[in-house]
Amino acid sequence: MKGPRPAVPRPSRVRTRSTAVVAFAVLAAMVPAASSVAGTQEVDTELPYLCAFPTGRFPAEVRISAAFPDRVEAGEAISPAGVTTTVELPAEAVAELTALEAVSARAATRLTVGVAQNEAAAEATWRGTAEPVTLPSSGPLTLTATGDVPSVTGRSDGALAFSAGNLAVDLALDAAEGATADPGALTVDCSPERDAPEELLLATVQVGTDEPDGSPSPPGASPGTPDPSSSTPGGGEDRQGDRAPEVTDAPSGAAADRDAPPCRYDDEHPPTPASLNAYITGHTNVKKLKGASLLPPSCMLIEQGNPVDGPPDPDHLIFDTASHGDFHYQGRKQTPPFRSTFLTFGFTPVTATMVLEQKGTVTIDSRIKLRLSDFRTITDTYVRAPLTLRVTALEVNGTPLDVGPACRTETPLTSADPDPANHPGDHLVLYGRGEQDLGLPATGYLLLSGGTLSGEATIPAFTGCGADEDLDRLLTASISGPGNEILQVQGQTCSIANPVFGDEFNAPQCTSDLQPYVIPVPER
């Protein structure tokens, strides 16, 4: 048994330099190295729209921001980054919502984007979800949505133009606590007030070796209202055959090499008839550092709850389902350790190892609303996860730096909970919305098929960091704080009691040893 190490005095200059190096190393390792600004065009466009409400059409301001490359090679995918759609509805539109006795709203957006190159054209759908917002007593309502963006590939040389089209805003409305009526949901269809192609242009990306001539190819006719059921992987409307730009939805397919940790039940975790397993992955922004941290594919063992009757509604059948889950890595409730290596100062390699540790049960609450008029189903899901962030190891230029055995956030990462009375305590909150029309594939997030969940987290203060010197205050000042956006992707679940191995009619959901077949790909 070793006793405590005696303190070794050192010159103050050396100690100060060590603290600075360790701090820089930790901060650099927490996020990917920033990409070069050169070759990127930042887009921030505000356009007037008209939105159809039950009593009429109201003007709305729609702001679209994203980052595009200036130039790519032919056949190289273009993936717009940092896509945000902000919709400002006027006071008259808000009055329409409050007239339904709604006090808050959760929004999902579907923006049709026209893509044109030379004489060819296609369409993509930019989807986003917004955090729940309280309806203002007066004035406009602002909804800020982020989410999935398909990649686009130009098949030949020439300028490729992106243009804004119609917008659909799906609103899930919530009544005040104790209210007898449920305001339900509302889809608001919006169209641009402008109709000239050059007025709707968002960005132009030069493809191939042709030099831009200052007059990008026109996007053509303004695209129509998006149809959520028509979006399929590798799809996109192709009006010009093989010459049209190829639109590819964000992938969620299986990786052939199984580049993920094992995800199976065992003797210590025996399955039940309600057992599911799935992989999750994603990104968490670190606002203070203007970067993001990648969560690698991680195993989640899930117990699906039984549906129970929800509140009465004359227009819908409502069911609530409460499920729960646990991370599973080598018998522990945590993610696998994930290592990142970067070149700091342009030449010094820094490697950090981190994990997310679960400090309580992950709950998955879904409300399923089946509209009786057309059997359209809308499912709203909230995932609540108590997770702390732990830094386990650091290396600078191959030399280990001892952060100690207990460097972590003091408390779990936190989010504003829409129902704090029933869900107290510190935890993350992620939200996803799924939709399905009778006889058509589902879109968005559903527990069984997976999809994208989003949220916003506060990173707490750090504690226990540094074996030789205290790094807590330094890490807290540099990293901790609110406003850190999360985008998580869950893959298709494997049902242990009823596994689907795939055939000519069904895609595989389980491997032969009952692991999830689908390993999702993180999105930005």
Largest interatomic CA distance in the chain: 78
User: The pTM is what?
Assistant: 0.53
Residue 279 · residue 150 · CB < 8 Å: no
What whole-number distance in Å separates Cα of residue 513 and Cα of residue 506?
18
Report the pLDDT value the prediction gives residue 55, as an integer from 0 to 100.
85
What whole-number distance in Å separates Cα of residue 22 and Cα of residue 35?
23
- Helix/strand/coil for 348: strand
Q: What is the DSSP letter of 314?
A: T
Closest by CA to 152, choosing from 217, 211, 85, 78, is 78
Which regions of 306-361 does DSSP assign to beta strands (E)? 308-309, 316-327, 338-344, 348-358
Going by DSSP bridges, is the β-strand pair 71-72/201-207 parallel, antiparallel, or unpaired?
A: parallel
- How is 28-77 classified by DSSP, letter by letter? HHHSPPPPPSTTEEEEEEEEEEEEEETTEEEEEEEEEEEEEESEE-TT-E
Element (H, E) at 97: helix 91-98
Question: 367 — phi, psi (to 5°)?
Answer: -115, 120
Report the pLDDT value the prediction gives residue 278, as an integer from 0 to 100.
97
Report the pLDDT value the prediction gives residue 340, as an integer from 0 to 100.
54
* Average pLDDT by stretches of 10, the chain with 524 residues: 37 35 35 44 93 90 93 83 93 90 88 86 84 90 85 82 92 78 82 86 84 40 35 36 56 48 89 95 74 82 94 93 94 82 44 82 96 93 95 72 87 95 94 90 92 94 87 78 92 94 85 92 76
Characterize 238-277 residue by residue with b for buried, 16 or more Cβ atoms within 10 angstroms of its Cβ, and e for exposed. beeeebbbbbbbbebebbeeeebbebbbeeeeebeeebbb
Upper half-sphere CA count for residue 494 (Cβ side, 13 Å): 28
Angle at 135 between CA 133 and CA 138, to 5 degrees: 140
